Amino acid sequence: MKGLEGILNPFKVYELRKRILFTLGLLAVYRLGVAVPTPGVDGVALSAFFQQAKGTIVGLLDLFSGGAFERFSIFTLGIMPYISASIIMSLLQPVVPYLERLAKEGDVGKKKITQYTRYLTLVIGIIQATGTSIWIQSMQTDDGRGFVLNPGLGFHLMTVVTLTTGTAFVMWLGEQITDRGIGNGSSLIIMVSIISRIPQAIIQSLQRLFVGEMNIFVILFMLTIGVLVTAGVVIMIQGHRKISVQYAKRIVGRKVYGGQSTHLPLQVNMAGVIPIIFASSLLALPATFVTFLGGKDIDFLTFLYRQLKPGGVIYQILMASGIIFFTYFYIAVIFNPIDVADNMRKQGGFIPGIRPGKSTAEYIERILKRITFVGAIFLALIDFFPSMIIQSMHLPFYFGGTSILIVVGVALDTVRQIESHLLMRHYEGFVKKGKIRGRF
C-alpha cells in the first residue's frame, strides 16, 4: 500500500495533477496524429517496404517517430527537425559571437535563441518534407506500381505543406508540455514514440512462442538482458564525478557571505544518446541511398552497403569508433572548462589545492577527459551488445540499448521534476530511500 500511496501522491497536489494530466493529454493528441495518414500514398506498399528497410536511417527515423514514418502520417517528420535545429543552435553558440552573447543575456537572449530555433526547424522541415515527397513518388512496388496514387506537382505541394505543418504542430506540443506540463516535451515525445513499439514486439514474441518458433527460455533471456541493460543505464546516467569547490568568505556591511563548501558535479554520460544517433546516421547513409535508388547497382554504394551492413565486424568497429569520436566532439562543444573556471573565480570559488583561473580550467579538463572516456566506452557497449544479441538470435524485439538509454534518461528526468514538486509541498516522493539525481 505504501508503494501505491507514493504513486498517488502526485495526484493529491492540484497544480501537479493539472500538469500531469495536461502532459498526458497532449501526448495522446500526438499519438492520435501519428495514426492519421497523409493522403495519396499506398499504405500497404509502404508498409512492405519498411519491413525491408530495417538497419537504414529510414528505420531509425521510423523508430523515433513511433511508426509515423511507416504509415506516412501527418507527423512523419515528428520532432526530429526540432531536435536537429536545437543541436545545430547549441553547436553554433560557441562559434557565432552573436549567439554566444544572446546565450549570456538571460531570459531575453534565451527567447531569441528559441525563436531562431523555431525558424530553423521550419527550414529543416521544408527541406526534409521536399526530399521525402520526391523519394516517395520515385518508389515502386515489385510489379511496377508507384507508391503515390496521383503523382505530380500537386502531390509534392500537398505533402510539403502537410508534413511541415505537422512538424510545427509537434514542436508546439513539445513546447507546451515543457512550459505547462511536467518534464521536457521534446524528450517525452521521443520516449512515447519508442515505447509505443513495445506492445507490437510483445505480441510478436508471444505469437512465435505459441507456434513453437521461440521457447520460454529465450523470452526469459530477453527479459534478463533488458533488466541488466536498464540497470547499467541507470547507474551511468546517475553517475557523477564530484569536484570539491570552496567559496571564500566575503564581508558586506555587517553580513558575512560565502565560506561554504560545495561541489561541481561532472556527469559521466554528459553527451547522452546524441553520439549514437550521429554515428548510426552516418553509417546508415550508404544503405539508405541504395534503398532510395530502388536497388540500382551502383558499384561504390553497393560495396559500402555490403561492408557496412549492421551486425558485420567492420560496421561494429566503425560504429564504436564513431560513438567515441562524437562523444568527445559533442562534449567539447557544449562544455567549456575555461568558462566554468572563470565563473567560479568571479564568484569567489576555488578548488582546494588548485590555483584559480588557468590551472583550474586545466584540472577540470583533465578530469573531464577521463570520465568522458568512460562514458564513451559505455555508449559503445550499450549500443553493441543488446543489438548483437537481438540480431544473432533473430529476435523480434527491437528495443535495443539506444532506445533504453533514451527512455530511462527521460523517465529519470521526469520523475525528478515530480519529486521536486512533491518535496516542496512536504510529500514523500516515489523513492523512499536514496535520491534521484537529474542530468545536467
The count of structural domains within the chain is 2
Residues 230 and 346 in one domain: yes
Indicate the residue among 176, 196, 216 that finishes a domain: 196
In angstroms, rounded to a whole number, what is the distance separating the alpha carbons of residues 59 and 400? Answer: 13
Indicate the residue among 142, 165, 196 that finishes a domain: 196
**One digit per residue, pLDDT tens: the chain, 440 residues?**
555 556 667 777 778 888 889 999 999 999 998 888 888 887 777 777 776 665 555 666 666 677 777 788 888 888 888 888 887 887 788 788 888 888 878 788 888 988 999 999 999 889 888 888 888 887 777 676 777 878 888 888 999 999 999 999 999 999 999 888 888 888 888 888 888 877 877 787 778 778 877 778 877 877 887 788 888 888 887 888 888 888 776 666 666 555 677 788 888 888 877 787 777 767 766 655 655 554 455 556 566 666 666 666 777 788 888 888 888 888 887 788 888 888 888 877 888 888 888 888 888 889 998 998 988 888 888 877 766 766 666 655 555 667 777 788 788 888 888 887 777 766 555 555 555 554 43
The H-assigned helical ranges of 211-336 are 216-238, 274-292, 299-307, 313-334
For residue 175, give its domain range. Answer: 1-196
**Grid cell digits, residue 175:** 513546447
Neighbours of 117 (CB within 10 A): 17
Residues 357 and 222 in one domain: yes
Residues 128 and 222 in one domain: no
Would you say 284 and 387 are in contact if contact means Cβ atoms under 8 Å apart?
A: no
Residues 260 and 165 in one domain: no
* 99 domain-assigned: yes
Residues 212 and 156 in one domain: no
* 65 domain-assigned: yes
In angstroms, rounded to a whole number, what is the distance separating the alpha carbons of residues 334 and 346? Answer: 21
**Grid cell digits, residue 137:** 513518388
